[in-house]
Structure 1
Amino acid sequence: MTTLVAGASGATGRQLVQQLLNRGQKVKVIVRSPEKLPESWKSNENVLIISASLLELSDSQMSEHIKDCEAIASCLGHNMTWKGIYGQPRKLVTDAAKRLCNAIRVNSPEEPIKYVLMNTTGNQNRDLSEPISFGQKCVIGLLRLLLPPHVDNEQAADYLRSKIGQNNQLIEWAAVRPDDLTNEEEVTDYEIHPSPIRSAIFDAGKTSRINVGHFMANLISDDDLWDKWKGQMPVIYNKSSPK
């Protein structure tokens, strides 16, 4: 099985790639700065490194890169710098989702392609009408005004939820929502819920990046787990997080 990973040079993307490699899968990564990648990837025959800016690829290049992939995972995000937050591209995650999904349509694969998006608990799954407090609504409203990356995350998930939908013949999707991200060395016990069980603003839990990578890799490689969560926005917490 081959998976294309966008955002592989990021902290969570690296964890996902390594988890896929641990499962013996082949991985393609599209990165602007290959020199930042682990040396072990560069000599690994199961890793194909594509040196490019994803949004600058032509439509034909994009389609060519994914034509032999059974899954696509996006761990794209905005750097937490002034330029990363307020500079271009402001819709990195959303535009990448649109272009990758359009490339899938062009290729018209015989079997649906899995699209796994890393998202955030700060974004609601509007298919479930998830309740949030008035205070959280106010804070989220401010985030929409002040932080373009938050809007980008919302719009990327909404594109999959409303434009790709639940019955697409070419694309199946899941949007994984971690809570407050942490760095850990090892995979630990974690739990998955259809919706947040705590406030992402006022009572955030912890989710290690390696656990996010582990769960996303499991979604890609385990068809039974995929059938359980496809078309949904599962929330992941480290199990040690107190409720």
Structure 2
Amino acid sequence: MKTLVIGASGATGLHLVQQLLEAGQAVKIIVRSTAGIPAAWQTHEHIEIITASIAEMHPEQMVELLKDCQSVASCLGHRPSFKGIYGKPRRLVRDAVQLICECIQSNAPASPVKFVLMNTSGNANRDLNEPNPLKNRIVIGLLRVLIPPHPDNEQAADYLRVTIGQDNPYIQWVAVRPDGLINEDEVTDYELFPSPVRNPIFNPGKTSRINVANCMARLIAEPELWDTWKGQMPLVYNKEA
């Protein structure tokens, strides 16, 4: 299996690519600069590095990149800086998801391509009747106005949920929703739930980035796990001792 990973130089993307490589999978990555990736990747036989900005890629380029990929994983996000949060492109993730999905459909693959999107626990799955107290709605409304990456994440997941839907012949998807992200060095036990089991705004849990990456890698590699969660937006929490 070959996977295209976008956002590969980010804190979660680095873990994801490394875990895919360790599992013997072939990987393509799109990065703006190779400076932020491990030097060993430069000569790794199972990785192809495309140095480019996905926000500036032409559809023809993406169509070619996807022709031999059976899966796509997005760990793409906005840089944690004023320019990254408030500068352009405001819809970086949504636009990348749309571009990739449109190009997959242009290729009309014989078997559906898996698309795994890293999303956020602050984004509700509107296909389900998830609890949404008034105080949460107020905070989320403020986030939509004040923090552009939040509506970007919402719209990226909604593109998969609504536009691609459940019966697309060329794309199947899962949007992984971690809770409060933390850094850990090793994969630990974690749990998946179809909806939040904690209040994501006022009582968030913890999810390590390496566990998010492990979950995404397993979804790509394990058919049974994929069949369990395809078309859904599972919450990922570190398992509490």
Give the TM interval when normalised to the shorter protein: over 0.9
1:21 match:
21
Q: Which whole-Å CA distance do the structure 1 matches of 2:131 and 2:215 have between them?
A: 25
Shift of 1:40: 1.3
Q: Which whole-Å CA distance do the structure 2 matches of 1:97 and 1:33 have between them?
A: 21
2:153 match:
153
Please give the per-residue CA displacement for 1:147-187, whole angstroms capped at 9, x wherever unaligned. 11000000000010000000000000000000000110000
2:231 match:
231
1:30 match:
30
- What letter matches 1:232 in structure 2? Q
1:131 match:
131
Shift of 1:74: 0.5
Matched residue pairs, number? 241
- Identical counterparts, % of pairs: 60
Q: Which whole-Å CA distance do the structure 1 matches of 2:50 and 2:90 have between them?
A: 23
1:193 match:
193
- 1:115 partner SS: strand
2:56 match:
56
Shift of 1:35: 1.9
Q: Which whole-Å CA distance do the structure 1 matches of 2:39 and 2:240 have between them?
A: 33
1:221 match:
221
Q: Which whole-Å CA distance do the structure 2 matches of 1:58 and 1:144 have between them?
A: 29
* Unaligned runs of at least 5 residues, structure 2: none
- 2:186 partner SS: coil
Shift of 1:129: 2.0
1:205 match:
205
Runs of 4+ that moved beyond 3 A? none
Shift of 1:43: 1.5
- 2:172 partner SS: strand
2:178 match:
178
Q: Calculate the TM-score normalised by the size of structure 2.
A: 0.99
Shift of 1:134: 1.1
2:107 match:
107
Please give the per-residue CA displacement for 1:83-135, whole angstroms capped at 9, x wherever unaligned. 01110010000000000001101111000000000000000000002112111
- What letter matches 1:185 in structure 2? D
Q: Which whole-Å CA distance do the structure 1 matches of 2:48 and 2:68 have between them?
A: 12
Q: Which whole-Å CA distance do the structure 2 matches of 1:108 and 1:35 have between them?
A: 35
- 1:214 partner SS: helix
- Please tell me the root mean square deviation across aligned C-alpha atoms, in Å: 0.8
Q: Which whole-Å CA distance do the structure 1 matches of 2:55 and 2:113 have between them?
A: 20
- 2:104 partner SS: helix
Q: Which whole-Å CA distance do the structure 2 matches of 1:194 and 1:218 have between them?
A: 17
Q: Calculate the TM-score normalised by the size of structure 1.
A: 0.98
- What letter matches 1:29 in structure 2? I
